[in-house]
Chains A and B, each alone.
Chain A
Amino acid sequence: MNQEQLLKEVNEIFKDVLDNEDVVINFDTVASDVDDWDSLNHIQLIAAIEKAFRIKFTSTEIYQFKNVGEMISSINSKLNP
Chain B
Amino acid sequence: MLFNSFEFLVFFPVVTVLFFILPHRFRWQLLLAASCFFYMFFKPEYILILAFTIVVDYYAGILIESAATSKLKKRYLMISLVANIGVLAVFKYYNFINDNITGLAGLFGWTNPIPALTMLLPVGLSFHTFQAMSYTLEIARGNYRAEKHFGIYALYVMFYPQLVAGPIERPQNMIHQFHEKKEFCYTRVVDGLRLMLWGFFKKIVIADNLATYTDSVYGNLHVQTSIAIVIAVFFFAFQIYCDFSAYTDIARGAARVMGFELVKNFNYPFRSRSVTDFWRRWHMSLTTWFNDYLFTPLVIRNRDSIKWGVVFALMVTFSLSGLWHGAAWTYVVFGVMHGIAMSYEFLTKKSRKRLSKKVPAFIYNPMCQALTFLFVCFTWIFFRAGSMQDAFYVLRRIPGVFTELSNFAVTNSKPIFDGTLNRLGLIYCGMFVILLETIHYLDNKFQIFSRLRTQRALVRWSVYYLTVLVMMFFASATAHKFIYFQF
Residues of A within 8 A of B (CB): 19, 39-40, 42-44, 46-47, 50, 59-60, 62-64
Residues of B within 8 A of A44 (CB): 306, 310
A19 near B297: Cβ-Cβ < 8 Å: no
* Contact assessment for B306 and A47 in the assembled complex, using a CB-CB cutoff below 8 Å: yes
Q: Are A47 and B350 in contact (CB under 8 A)?
A: no
Contact B296 A39 (CB under 8 A): yes
Size of B's binding interface in residues, CB under 8 A: 19
A43 lies within 8 A of B346 (CB): no
Q: Could you mark each residue 292-309 of chain B with 1 if its beta carbon is under 8 Å from any beta carbon of chain A, else 0?
A: 000111011101101001
Q: Using Cβ atoms and an 8 Å threshold, which residues of chain B touch A39?
A: 291, 295-296
Which B residues lie at the A interface, using CB under 8 A? 141-142, 276, 291, 295-297, 299-301, 303-304, 306, 309-310, 346, 349-350, 353
Q: Which residues of A contact B291 (CB under 8 A)?
A: 39
Most chain B beta-carbon neighbours within 10 Å: one of A40, A42, A60: A40
Contact of B310 among A19, A43, A60, A63 (CB under 8 A): A43
B104 to chain A, nearest CB (A): 35
Return 12 A-B CB contacts under 8 Å, by A number.
A40-B310, A42-B296, A43-B300, A43-B310, A44-B306, A46-B303, A50-B303, A59-B297, A60-B141, A60-B142, A62-B300, A63-B141
Let me know if A19 and B350 touch, CB within 8 A.
Answer: yes
Task: Check B306 against A40 for contact (C-beta < 8 Å).
Answer: no
Interface of B is mostly: helix
Which of B276, B295, B300 counts the most A-chain CB atoms under 10 A from its CB?
B300
In the complex, what distance in Å separates the CA atom of A60 from the CA atom of B140?
A: 11
Beyond A19-B350, A39-B291, A39-B295, is A59–B300 a contact (Cβ under 8 Å)?
A: yes
Q: Is the CB of A47 within 8 A of B276?
A: no
Complex CA distance for A60 and B70, rounded to whole angstroms:
12
The 9 A-B pairs with the shortest beta carbon distances in the complex, nearest first, are A47-B303, A43-B299, A59-B300, A39-B291, A43-B303, A19-B350, A62-B300, A47-B306, A40-B346
